[in-house]
Amino acid sequence: MRLELSEQDLTKLVPEFYARVRADPVLGPIFDGAIDDWDEHIEKLQAFWSSVMLTSGRYKGQPMVAHLRHEGAMSAANFDRWLALWQKTTGDILDPDNAAALQAKAARIAESLQLGVQFQSER
């Protein structure tokens, strides 16, 4: 089925996801300890997802480098928790096809971030 995800969907999804992240007892303190300007973070993540899903090219950054700064928080359990919350939030907010596409993409990116962090920490 054709993907009809829009910028508007991301404008709803991303702030709601990070509101839930902040309310999460495990992920909340990690993010609140790392992020000073939440408006900027949400803006950046909307650009990220827009680049990934809509190939808008709006995001210019290095996710791997950003996560290496927080290596201690990048455990398999935390990735599972992040992905479970992403799954729930996308499912609550978007139609099933768009939610499924975002879930599959996040799982692949999470896997590569996790491998990257593991690889760096073993060097």
- Residues at the contact surface with ligand HEM, assessed by CB under 6 A: 30-31, 34-35, 44-45, 48, 61, 63, 66-67, 69-70, 73-74, 78-79, 82, 106, 109-110, 113
**Two tokens at 108?**
């692949």
d(CA 12, CA 7): 9
Least separation in angstroms between residue 47's CB and ligand HEM is 9
Point out the residue whose Cβ comes nearest to ligand HEM: 61
Q: In the complex with ligand HEM, which residue's Cβ is closer, 61 or 96? A: 61
- Distances from the Cα of 3 to the Cαs of 7, 44, 100, in angstroms? 13, 22, 10
Least separation in angstroms between residue 96's CB and ligand HEM is 19
**Two tokens at 45?**
């993540």
